[in-house]
């Protein structure tokens, strides 16, 4: 269904806006966010030798650090968050804050 907004009165436009805002507030199932951020991990300065690649770091991050994020942001259980994607950067791709 397409609404021709040019044919609506100002009062009808205001009501439509109110209806849309009310509907959007009720549709929490439509909200899903992807957040991407960098985690600096300098292997030579870390004592955990098991974190030797993107997959093991992803597993560690997903299990151990998730709890801190979940508590801080009020997220649900582990099952409510998809597996984190970890990509190993080349030194020239490091963000400035992690360059040695």
What confidence tens digit (pLDDT) does each residue in 3-49 have? 999 999 999 999 999 999 999 888 877 666 666 766 666 666 666 66
Residue of 100, 63, 72 lying closest to 86 (CA atoms): 63
Contact criterion met (CB below 8 Å) for 63 and 79: no
Rounded to two decimals, what is the model's pTM? 0.36
What does the pLDDT read at residue 73?
74
- The strand ranges marked E within the chain are none
């Amino acid at each position: 269904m397409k609404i021709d907004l040019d044919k609506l009165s100002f009062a009808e436009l205001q009501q439509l806006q109110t209806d849309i805002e009310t509907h959007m507030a009720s549709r929490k199932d439509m909200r899903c966010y992807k957040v991407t951020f960098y985690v600096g991990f300098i292997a030579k300065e870390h004592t955990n030798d098991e974190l030797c690649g993107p997959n093991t770091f992803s597993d560690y991050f997903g299990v151990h650090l998730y709890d801190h994020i979940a508590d801080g942001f009020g997220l649900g259980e582990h099952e409510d968050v998809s597996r984190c994607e970890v990509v190993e950067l080349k030194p020239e791709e490091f963000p400035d804050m992690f360059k040695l």
